[in-house]
Structure 1
Amino acid sequence: MVKLKVVASAFVLRTVRRLASGSHKSERYQRPPTMSQAATLFGFLLIIVVNTVVASVAIRFFRLRLSTDWGAVVYTAIVVPLLFAFTTILLSGFIGFGGSGLDRGTALILVWVVPFTLAVTLDVFWLPAPEEVELPEETR
């Protein structure tokens, strides 16, 4: 009887350890997405869209208003990342969009590199060249 209790308690102990380590799960089983994962995805998409719009407007403004080609490049390389830092901190820090579902490298690529390349691509390939745009001679 005592031996049976020892064997049973050892079995229970192994089962509890296996359940705690997660090795009991089948490799084919995947949990369905949770609400927090959906909110994280929505947050990242919102940050990507906002950063793309901010970068597009800033890059277009610099290309139209600055008289030299290198001026627009330098201002874009310096000012747009500062704007990204502000919007990313605002949306993911204070407001809380984005969550913590990804590692830092992937998150950085998603919220900085992708919007920047999209904005540059839109400005260079889709919008008319700065020489073709007529600007008013006088500002108000």
Structure 2
Amino acid sequence: MVSVVDAVGLLVILGVNSLAAALLTRLFRVRLNTQWGAVLYSVLLTPLVLLVLVLVLGGAGLGPDLGGAAAVIGITILLPLAMGMAFDYFWQPAPEEVELPDRRGT
């Protein structure tokens, strides 16, 4: 049976990983000039960052025992990756639609 502390720890891991995935996806969309480049970087590099975060947060004692490597990858890496990318692509404006102020003095 999962305790309340384990459930809260898992929610913290999911929240941190989703935030990291959304921020990295936005970073790749803003910095890269091609549409597919941002998608490839998001799909290939973001899971590595999420894996490091899971190892750090899980090593700190957060989260329950999920039973196996496939469950850990699915729940703590793939799910937040999908949620973070969906948040950036569907709910945030495209980088080219955002108006930035003029840079004066440079």
TM range (shorter): 0.7 to 0.9
Paired residues, number: 103
2:48 aligns with one of 82, 91, 103 = 82
Q: Which structure has the higher relative contact order (CA within 8 Å, separation 6+)?
A: 2
5+ unaligned residues in a row in structure 2: which ranges?
A: none
In the superposition, the TM-score normalised over structure 2's length comes to 0.85
For each residue in 1:77-119, what CA deviation from the matched residue of structure 2 results, as whole angstroms up to 9, or x when unmatched?
Answer: 22101110110000001x111132x222333221112111111
Higher gyration radius (CA):
1
Tell me what 1:119 maps to.
Answer: 84
In the superposition, the TM-score normalised over structure 1's length comes to 0.66
Asked if 1:98 corresponds to 2:63, the answer is yes
The alpha-carbon distance between structure 1 residues 120 and 91, as it changes in their structure 2 partners (threshold 3 A), is: same
Tell me what 2:30 maps to.
Answer: 64
Q: Percent identity at matched positions?
A: 36
5+ unaligned residues in a row in structure 1: which ranges?
A: 1-32
Q: CA deviation at 1:125?
A: 1.0
